[in-house]
Structure 1
Amino acid sequence: MSLAQHFIDTLRCHLPDGGRVVIGFSGGVDSRVLLHLAALYRAQHPDLELLAVHVHHGLSQYADQWLEQCELWAKAEQIPFVAEYVSLDLESGDSIEQLARDARYQVLASHVNTDDVLLTGQHLDDQTETFLLALKRGSGPKGLSSMALSAPFASGKLLRPLLDVSRSDIEHFAHTQQLTWLEDDSNQDTRFDRNFLRHKVVPVINKRWPSFNKAVRRSARLCAKQEQLLAELLKPELEACLNSFQGVEIDTLSRSSPLKRDQLLRMWLEAQTSALPSEIQLQQLWNDVALAKPDANPNLVLASGSIRRFKSHLYWVAPQEDVTQWSKSLTIETPVLLPDRLGELTLGNSSEKNSLMTLNRAALTEPMVVMFEPEGLSAHPHGRAGSRKLKKLFQEYQIPSWQRRRTPILMMGDKVVAVANLFVDKDFYGSDCELVWDK
């Protein structure tokens, strides 16, 4: 099968109807071929929307020239082009490779909407390098499964249509199509681990074992299948451990064997963050956080957040913006988008007659505002005796301390109407409309 037909078949299988194709376009041979293949595919599907996104890291003296050349290639293929500029914190302690990758995917995510597919140019040789890097780190089956052909990404999907194609086949296709591309001088710098493998290690292996790349592909797929099977078998048990804030119950985990407990914790964290803990960190998580003294406030800091304990549950706490100064008007039937990925709040027609979050429309006589600052506020929850400070109510409702200033409060003037997902004040409780917090 030709490379072009392989691309067409792969994209056809993974592109939802009405979805747009976003191309991560660096200008290297892989993404240059992707750009051309996407244009060929569009020739057969004229209604398909394409977008090429180039990320300018500013790490090379040639970065501006690369951007200009990429824009010219996109124009020649009649594909809309967007350039995004990012700056890297080179003092963070992370590798330049990791910083650049994280920044690139963060920018690309902002362009991927529901049903969109992001195309990236990783190929079979890249998969071998990724596998060996995971092996160097001592990764288990999850890490050794390396890169998937497709995976959820932002609001859409990430697709690597060249993942089973060798670098040499990609370059051969580029030559036959008379394509030109950029050569990043940093790709020759063997101080970087991936480049060291590419230039010093993998060629020697391939000379001895010419089918090594294909063997790695099989091993990676087997590891991925094993992980999928574990997830399928353990997902019901994990879901039974979770509360409404996605906290995982320590007592339930403690009744599992250490092997099952560790796998459940990995699965739980995988749903929260891409930076999974090492084996040592996993032991620290259990011994120093889950099993800490009852009066302790343990906190394990990882690369992209931290793990904390509250009321016999473990919680993943991602880096958070301060939203206490944020406020916005709320009208009936008009959703409000909350800040910092906190979801959406809607006051609409009641769908559940017995819901705790239903209100009396006649009592809502003044403009309403959504806010997050509970300081100084009091409320009298429907069905309970007496008024309490919100600070005290949050404790009684067992809301983790880091969630208390991230839970939407509905106000009318200086009165608390409701706290989302917790209670409605007795003066506003009814059955006409319902407050829904879609997280």
Structure 2
Amino acid sequence: MQANDGAASRIVLAFSGGLDSRVLLHLLGRFQTEHPDVVCLAVHVHHGLSRHADDWAQQCLNWADDAGIACRIERVTLQLGNRLSLEQQAREARYQALAHHLRPGDLLLTAQHADDQLETVLLALKRGSGPAGLAAMPEAMAFADGIHLRPLLDCPRDELAAYAYRHGLEWVEDESNQDERFDRNFLRHQIAPKLAERWPGIRKAVARSAALCGEQEALLQELLADKLNAALAPDHSLCVAGLGSALQGKALIRQWLAGQKVRMPSKAQLDQIWESVVQAREDANPCLKTEGYEVRRFQQRLYRVASWPELTDSRIPCSLGTPCQLPQDLGSLTLSPAANGCLRLPRADEPVSIRFEPAGLHVQPLGRVGKRKLKKLFQEYGVPSWNRRRTPLVFYGEELAAVAGLFVVSGFEGRECDLKWHN
């Protein structure tokens, strides 16, 4: 195997220490013995949720050493009490940690099996998912800088257990796997066994259905690819006029969001985006908030923007010549002496600060006649509503001197200072 940059690709195993990944570690050890030129690495993610977590990490190190495979421990911290479920948080933290170990061309192996696939489809049905959700887990997909493979997806758990017993393997038992308050555990212990008892071929049948849903979803993406490209703007916004009918439009919005690697909205949220954002009157400022981002419309385009807390009370001191770091990924702003700048120097009694609250400000941009509300000026300059309280306002003392990236206020012009906003 060769990575894109010419370096040898590696195989990275997500190694929890449970039965499934323990079997995969053993198989990977055998593979590496036969192919010593392939570099293999096991990564154990330590969630810290169990009192046995440290012991499991040590066991994983020992078993990886026995298999002749290097092992790394990745510790993650979960925000207990967060709106996201503990299962969802743990999964997202786990994959973020694994992504750090993937270089271009690497393969990530995870040990999901046929029983896991059955549970995933049942959970998707419970949520009311469409074809994309019912496609469940693919055997191979792009992930981070590499490829994510699930080589055991056709194997039922009892076959993995038989393999483990045959080879004398030990594994860790996570006590949380018995807690039926978690939906997946409830399905695993109460529902899936009854389904398999009644219909022994249920795993394979569900896997076929998932594969068919995956094919339908791939076909839909292929058929809509040209329409999506035509509706996309260079800034990754989506042209409302190019969405077409409600059915096509909602499918295009899903693909647009999927391309931005954000959590998919539910059907109800997607309906709201269409009805309350896309279909809102032209002079409205519509917005749908979901987990981690917002969908907004501005000048007949849809934008996906991050959700941030208000900066209303922020007041950041700014020193001449020193980059001022701004909050919330807004970059930095520098006010520096210059021979051919746009601002005058602040006086000794005019401490410079950066603020973000435009309410109540009436100013006259340089070169214009009369003062106007800053809110109205933002509209004239084409600043989207969600950025109007995220645009740095440069104050000399208690007077607004400039709006970064837009204009200098009349009365503060000069050639002694230059203002640069790097965002």
Q: CA separation in 2, counterparts of 1:279 and 1:83?
A: 38
Encode CA deviations 1:344-382: one digit per residue, 9 max, x unaligned. xxxxxxxxxxxxxxxxxxx9xxxxxxxxx999xxxxxxx
Secondary structure in 1 matching 2:118: helix
Cross-structure match for 2:136? 146
Shift of 1:183: 0.9
Q: CA separation in 1, counterparts of 2:387 and 2:104?
A: 28
**Aligned residue among 28, 43, 48 for 2:33:** 43
The 3 A distance-change label for structure 1 pair 415 and 17 is same
Q: CA separation in 1, counterparts of 2:384 and 2:167?
A: 59
Cross-structure match for 1:60? 50
- Code of the aligned partner of 1:294: E
Which of 237-246 and 111-120 deviates more? 111-120
Shift of 1:318: 3.2
Encode CA deviations 1:35-90: one digit per residue, 9 max, x unaligned. 12222222222222222111111111111111111111112122222112222112
Shift of 1:396: 7.3
Mapped contact 2:246–2:274 kept (Cα < 8 A): no
Secondary structure in 2 matching 1:259: helix
Cross-structure match for 1:273? 261
**Aligned residue among 86, 93, 97 for 2:87:** 97
Shift of 1:93: 2.7
Q: Does 1:285 align with 2:273?
A: yes
**Aligned residue among 167, 192, 204 for 1:214:** 204
Q: CA separation in 2, counterparts of 1:340 and 1:24?
A: 32
TM-score (norm 2): 0.74
Q: Does 1:316 align with 2:304?
A: yes
Secondary structure in 2 matching 1:69: helix
Encode CA deviations 1:266-286: one digit per residue, 9 max, x unaligned. 111111234211221111112
Mapped contact 2:103–2:145 kept (Cα < 8 A): yes
Q: Does 1:160 align with 2:150?
A: yes
Residues 258-269 of structure 1: pairs in structure 2 closer than 5 A? 258-269=246-257
Encode CA deviations 1:162-194: one digit per residue, 9 max, x unaligned. 111111111112222221111111111112111
Shift of 1:406: 9.7
Cross-structure match for 1:184? 174
Q: CA separation in 1, counterparts of 2:120 and 2:105?
A: 28
Task: Give unmatched runs, 5+ long, in structure 2.
Answer: 318-326, 331-339, 341-353, 357-366, 369-374, 393-403, 406-415
The count of residues paired between Structure 1 and Structure 2 equals: 358
Q: CA separation in 2, counterparts of 1:418 and 1:209?
A: 64
TM-score (norm 1): 0.72
Q: Which runs of 4+ in 1 moved over 3 A?
A: 318-322, 339-342, 391-409, 413-420
Q: Does 1:245 align with 2:240?
A: no
The 3 A distance-change label for structure 1 pair 228 and 71 is same
When the two chains are superposed, the root-mean-square deviation of aligned CA atoms in Å is: 3.7
Cross-structure match for 1:303? 291
Secondary structure in 2 matching 1:50: strand
Identity of matched residues, % = 49
Cross-structure match for 2:104? 114
The 3 A distance-change label for structure 1 pair 394 and 295 is closer
Secondary structure in 1 matching 2:247: helix
Secondary structure in 2 matching 1:93: coil
Q: CA separation in 2, counterparts of 1:190 and 1:110?
A: 32
**Aligned residue among 192, 199, 204 for 2:194:** 204
Mapped contact 2:285–2:385 kept (Cα < 8 A): no
Cross-structure match for 2:408? none
- Code of the aligned partner of 2:294: S
- Code of the aligned partner of 2:70: P
Q: CA separation in 2, counterparts of 1:213 and 1:118?
A: 24
Q: CA separation in 2, counterparts of 1:185 and 1:278?
A: 31
The 3 A distance-change label for structure 1 pair 78 and 341 is farther
Q: Does 1:170 align with 2:170?
A: no
Residues 76-91 of structure 1: pairs in structure 2 closer than 5 A? 76-91=66-81
**Aligned residue among 228, 245, 253 for 1:257:** 245
The 3 A distance-change label for structure 1 pair 340 and 224 is farther
Shift of 1:304: 2.8
Secondary structure in 1 matching 2:138: coil
Task: Give unmatched runs, 5+ long, in structure 1.
Answer: 1-10, 326-338, 343-362, 364-372, 376-385, 421-439
Secondary structure in 1 matching 2:120: helix
Secondary structure in 2 matching 1:65: helix
Q: CA separation in 2, counterparts of 1:394 and 1:32?
A: 59
Larger radius of gyration: 2
The 3 A distance-change label for structure 1 pair 39 and 315 is same
Mapped contact 1:273–1:304 kept (Cα < 8 A): no
Mapped contact 1:122–1:163 kept (Cα < 8 A): yes
